[in-house]
């Protein structure tokens, strides 16, 4: 919750107003774009932390620099296989952990 002019606002309601209810095509589109944006930021930050240029990372996975750029600006979402290749090329790994206290099922 947040306050706006000393009034409490329910963020879930605000999201539904702006992006649609869960399960609607409008919300699914928003969720997909949000995940793409988040993925692009994670990969860009990881590349910079690894002290690699876009060209160097692209070469490591056999791609073009422009492809890395499109991933990092969110216009392309890499496949799962490409995501793992990118992560590996930066000397990183992916670890999945259970979320404590969260019982979420995606439909």
pLDDT tens-digit series, residues 12-71: 888 888 888 989 999 999 988 898 899 999 999 999 999 999 999 999 999 999 999 999
- The residue extents of the domains of the chain are 21-107
pLDDT of residue 5: 65
Among 3.30.470.10, 2.40.50.180, 1.10.260.40, 2.30.30.90, what is the CATH number of 21-107? Answer: 1.10.260.40
Q: How many helices (H) and strands (E) does the chain have?
A: 5, 2
Better pLDDT: 106 or 71: 71
Given a cut of 70, whether residue 4 has pLDDT beyond it is no
Which residues are registered as beta bridge partners of 9? 2
Going from the C-alpha of 42 to that of each of 9, 53, 76, 87, 101, the distances in angstroms are 30, 15, 14, 10, 24
Q: What are phi and psi of 3, to 5 degrees?
A: -110, 145
Indicate the pTM of the whole model.
0.73
Better pLDDT: 45 or 2: 45
């Amino acid at each position: 919750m947040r306050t706006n002019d000393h009034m409490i606002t329910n963020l879930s309601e605000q999201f539904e107003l702006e992006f649609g209810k869960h399960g609607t095509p409008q919300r699914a589109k928003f969720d997909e774009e949000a995940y793409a944006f988040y993925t692009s930021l994670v990969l860009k930050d990881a590349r910079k932390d690894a002290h690699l240029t876009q060209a160097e990372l692209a070469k490591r996975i056999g791609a073009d620099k422009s492809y890395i750029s499109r991933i990092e600006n969110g216009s392309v979402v890499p496949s799962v296989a490409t995501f793992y290749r990118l992560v590996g090329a930066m000397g990183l790994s992916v670890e999945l952990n259970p979320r404590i206290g969260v019982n979420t099922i995606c439909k």
